[in-house]
Structure 1
Amino acid sequence: METRRNIFFSYKKDPAKLPDIEQLMTIAKEQGFEIVTNQDAANIIVAVGGDGAFLQAVRKSGFRDDCLYVGVTDEEEASLYCDFHIYDTESMIAAMQTANVEVRRYPVIDVHLDGHTHFHCLNELSVRSSIIKTFVIDVIIDDLHFETFRGDGIVVSTPTGSTAYNRSLNGAVVDPLIPCIQVSEMASLNNNQFRTLGSSFILSDSRKLTLHIVQDGNEYPVIGLDNEALSVQNTKNIEVEMSGKIIKTVKLKNNSFWHKVQRTFL
């Protein structure tokens, strides 16, 4: 971080947390960093508040690949995106003063809705019914019609997102060093008319996944982009592929993705 000196702090405006945020800013200034109020002028973005706050900071800043993101949790439970705790200031100071940090690179997926609306996701894309009715989705891999799904929805996750919604659907936890997307079903129906694989599957970064929503009275899906919901009327085609964009985060040495998974789940 020695060549990156402009820091923007992203945090929820909670009066109870402001003294802690101000202390972090004071520490950063004492270590020679400049606090900026415009995130576009920053080359380090610090997200305070846990994994949800980290995802929001990345989204609001436009998934920048020319800066470093730093996660600082203020919660008691383990965090997958945050290497620092707001009250462990000694670790932060040591990281600023020494080379005891590394850069972790997380892949991002691209999402196109009907060929015109475009989004990025760091965790996952989820497509769910907004009414109490299953809906039908044709699942297409590249140009191959792979299956016709009927059920509550589909989740497409990145490797880091594999520990979130995807894991609750019995999907695999994937090493972030493997650029890929994982597709998991939500309550699929399997009968003589509809037949799906019935398990999660993983696609390489060279594949394109197309979800074609069959218009049969359920044309208002709720589309989740990480931790944000988007309601788009009459969406027909959702195209998903790896973007090639990388989100760079600061991590402590000896604190790999698998260290975090172990602490969180085992």
Structure 2
Amino acid sequence: MKVTVFSNDGSSSVQVANRLTQKLINTGFVIDDQTPDVVISVGGDGTLLSAFHRYTHDLAHIRFIGVHTGHLGFYTDWRDFEVDDLVVALQEDLGQSISYPLLEIKIEYADTHEISRSLALNEVTLRRYAATLRTDVYIKENFFESFRGDGLCISTPTGSTAYSKSIGGAVLHPRLDAMQMTEIASINNRVYRTLSAPIVLPSDEWLLLKPSKTSDYVVTIDQFTFKDRPIASMQFKIAKERIQFARYRHTHFWNRVEDAFIGSKHEI
């Protein structure tokens, strides 16, 4: 088995990553950051997002493992003090995994008509700098609404617990092959009207945005930001690719949600 350890720059994460790498070498694993079978992310959910984007070209052959060195994350099953247990689990690996849906984004730029394709694990947002975002929204080929407001967020089920939740989106179980569009401060009056509620779309439907002609757009794809390009259209759908996590133990999704947002020991 070929393994690579992907860490953030924090001192505690670097120490854990170095210790883990040495233990993997001592137990006979091949360290390969070019064509790994397993990518071990050491840090938090943001670190795993970075690892995911580093290896989007080979998702069919890679499984991910998350080790967190801070607070419990939604993508991290192991703690920093469990390095020895993780190495043992890797030695006993039988190829077990669980996969989650990803979001495919195709952006057509108005200046060159170039079409770029990207994948998102969490979400994509479309905004403008200091002006109202105006965009027509289509579901499949059908016009749905004209949006006016601060922006739109399109998220995966795993991303539904991130930014989407903070702006009023629903929490979706990651086994659902679905995507969610959530409004960011929409304008609703006698002139402009939107649904003003999150929309959940199945895997056989897609979302198309056709924003107004301007160049001061800000697009985020997970933790990456792109700006100052005139956008002709943005298409979103559930990707054919999926992310695979090596699961030697599994924390139930709703237990993660309860622990992250409510806390099992909260007091009334």
TM-score (norm 1): 0.90
Match of 1:150 in 2: 148
Distance 1:91 1:262 in 2: 25
1:11 aligns with 2:7: yes
- 1:1-266 paired onto structure 2 within 5 Å: 5-14=1-10, 17-36=13-32, 39-62=33-56, 64-75=59-70, 77-98=71-92, 102-114=96-108, 116-131=115-130, 133-215=131-213, 218-266=214-262
Distance 1:138 1:111 in 2: 17
| Preserved contact between residue 77 and residue 250 of structure 2 (Cα < 8 Å) | no
- The secondary structure found in structure 2 opposite 1:41 is coil
| Preserved contact between residue 11 and residue 53 of structure 1 (Cα < 8 Å) | yes
C-alpha change, 1:225 and 1:141, in structure 2 (3 Å) is: same
Deviations 1:27-76 (A, max 9, x none): 2223331112xx3321111111100010011101125221111111111x
Deviations 1:173-198 (A, max 9, x none): 11111101100000000112211111
Distance 2:230 2:249 in 1: 47
Distance 1:232 1:10 in 2: 31
Distance 1:62 1:232 in 2: 25
Would you say how many aligned residue pairs link Structure 1 and Structure 2? 256
Distance 1:178 1:14 in 2: 34
For 2:21, give the aligned amino acid. Answer: M
C-alpha change, 1:232 and 1:238, in structure 2 (3 Å) is: farther
- The secondary structure found in structure 2 opposite 1:88 is helix
For 2:230, give the aligned amino acid. Answer: N
Distance 2:67 2:12 in 1: 16
1:15 deviates by: 5.4
| Preserved contact between residue 51 and residue 81 of structure 1 (Cα < 8 Å) | yes
C-alpha change, 1:259 and 1:251, in structure 2 (3 Å) is: farther
| Preserved contact between residue 102 and residue 253 of structure 1 (Cα < 8 Å) | no
- The secondary structure found in structure 2 opposite 1:148 is strand
- The secondary structure found in structure 1 opposite 2:231 is coil
1:144 deviates by: 0.8
Distance 2:189 2:181 in 1: 20
1:91 deviates by: 3.1
Deviations 1:117-138 (A, max 9, x none): 111101001111122x112111
Distance 1:257 1:223 in 2: 29
| Preserved contact between residue 48 and residue 66 of structure 2 (Cα < 8 Å) | yes
- The secondary structure found in structure 2 opposite 1:197 is coil
Deviations 1:213-240 (A, max 9, x none): 012xx53211010111111411121111
- The secondary structure found in structure 2 opposite 1:238 is strand
| Preserved contact between residue 16 and residue 42 of structure 2 (Cα < 8 Å) | no
| Preserved contact between residue 128 and residue 153 of structure 1 (Cα < 8 Å) | yes
For 1:245, give the aligned amino acid. Answer: E
C-alpha change, 1:17 and 1:183, in structure 2 (3 Å) is: closer
For 1:156, give the aligned amino acid. Answer: I
Distance 1:100 1:41 in 2: 19
Distance 1:100 1:117 in 2: 37
C-alpha change, 1:256 and 1:100, in structure 2 (3 Å) is: farther
CA RMSD of aligned residues (A): 1.9
Distance 2:222 2:14 in 1: 26
Distance 1:256 1:65 in 2: 24
| Preserved contact between residue 31 and residue 96 of structure 1 (Cα < 8 Å) | no
Q: Could you tell me which runs of 5 or more consecutive residues in structure 1 were left unpaired when the two chains were aligned.
A: none
